[in-house]
Amino acid sequence: MSTGEAARIVVLPGDGVGPEVTSAALEVLDAACHAGGIPIAVEQRLVGGAAVEAEGAAISPETFERCRQSTAILFGAGGAPRWDHLTGDARPGSALIRLRRSLELCVNLRPVRVHPGLEERSNLRADVVRGCDLVVVRELAGGIYYGERGRSGEGPEERAFDTMTYSRAEIERVASAAFDLARTRRTRVVSVDKANVLTSSRLWREVVTDVGRAHPDVALEHALVDSFALRLVQRPRALDVVLAENLFGDILSDLAAALSGSIGLLPSASLPAAGQPGPALYEPVHGSAPDIAGRGIANPIGAILSVALLLEHSLHHPDAAARVRVAVDRVIADAVLTRDLGGTAATAEVTAAVVAALPS
C-alpha cells in the first residue's frame, strides 16, 4: 500500500450478533482513521449462514477474491443452530476455515487483559486476576485439525483417528512471531506442549528452543499443557506471551477468557507469517450468540479491540491502536457496560461512548 492510497478493508458481518458488533467496530475504526488521517475504503460482503441463504455457499468466489485482494478482513461471527444440519461448503463455519487456510493465516493472537474496574467480574478472585495482561499466540494452520483422519470397522472394533503433524518450518514461523511480540512487551515466552508423551511436541520443543537462541533478550520457559492449564488460572499475572500449537492454543485461549470477566471483551488477529504478503483477519472471539441477536445488547468491545489490532498490524498505526484502547479503558472506567458485565448499556451506547472517548 503506497503512501496516500486507501487501505481496502473487507467487512464480513456474518450471522447472529456479528452484524451488530462489526457495525460498532466500523464506527470506531472510521473515527480513529479520520482523527489520524488514515485513508481506508470499506466494503461489506455476505458470509456464513447469510451467504448460504443468499448465494448458496458460506463464502462466494467473488467474496473470497475480494478478501484475498484486501489489506485486512474484519469478521463478525458465523453460524447458528438453524444451519447446523449443513455440511461441506454450505456449512457456515467453513468460510472462516477456508479463509485461514487459503490466505495462510498461521499466527493467531489472542490478547487477554483484565481491565481496571472489571476484576470483580472475573470467574476468579479479583486479587488473582488484577493486572493480568497476556497474549496467547496460537499456531493456526497445522496440527491435529488439518492432519489425516478417518474411521473404520464396525461394532466393538470401530475406530477413529486424527493425526497431529508439524514441520519444522511451521513451528519456526509461529515461534518467531511469539518471540518478536514478546520483545515489544515484557520479554517472556512460555511455550506449551506435551513433550513427555507426544513426538510432535518433542519436535515443537526442540524448534522453539532453537528459535529462542536467536532471541537471547527474551526469556523462554517450556511447560506441559496439563500443568500449565492449572497455572493459567492460579497465577495468570506472571504470564506474558503464551505460545502453543493449534489444539492446545484453542483450548487455553478459551480458558484464559474466563480471566477477563466476559468473552465479549476479547479480540483476536489471524496473521500471515512475517514477510508473507496478503491480508490478515480480525474478529472478536465470541460466537454468533443467536439468543441475543437483534436485541441491541451485544458487547461490542471484543470487535472494537479487534479494530485496534487491525490498526496496529495491518495499517501499521500503533498510535491509533493505542488511542482506541485508551478510549475503551475510559468507557469501562466510567461503567458504560453491557449486560454481560453487569451493566445496562446497549451496544450503540457503548459504541458512542468509545467514539466520544477517543483521544485526539
Which residues are CB-contacts of 319 (< 8 A; sequence separation ≥ 6)? 36
Catalytic status, residue 250: yes
| Residue 74 DSSP one-character state | E
Give the CB-side neighbour count of residue 125, counting CA atoms within 13 A: 4
Question: What single-letter amino acid sits at 77?
Answer: A
Exactly one of 166, 193, 194, 282 is catalytic; name it. Answer: 194
Exactly one of 84, 89, 210, 226 is catalytic; name it. Answer: 226
Tell me the H-state helices in the chain: 18-36, 49-55, 61-68, 94-102, 126-129, 168-183, 199-213, 225-234, 246-260, 301-313, 318-333, 347-357
Exactly one of 145, 166, 193, 340 is catalytic; name it. Answer: 145
Exactly one of 133, 180, 254, 329 is catalytic; name it. Answer: 254
Exactly one of 240, 250, 282, 340 is catalytic; name it. Answer: 250
Distance CA 255, CA 263 (A): 10
Distance CA 311, CA 55 (A): 31
Catalytic status, residue 254: yes
Distance CA 9, CA 345 (A): 28
287 burial level (CB within 10 Å; 0-12, 13-18, 19+): middle
| Residue 123 DSSP one-character state | S
Q: What are the percentages of helix, strand and coil residues in the chain, rounded to 5?
A: 45, 20, 35
Which residues are CB-contacts of 133 (< 8 A; sequence separation ≥ 6)? 111, 112, 113, 114, 240
Catalytic residues: 145, 194, 226, 250, 254
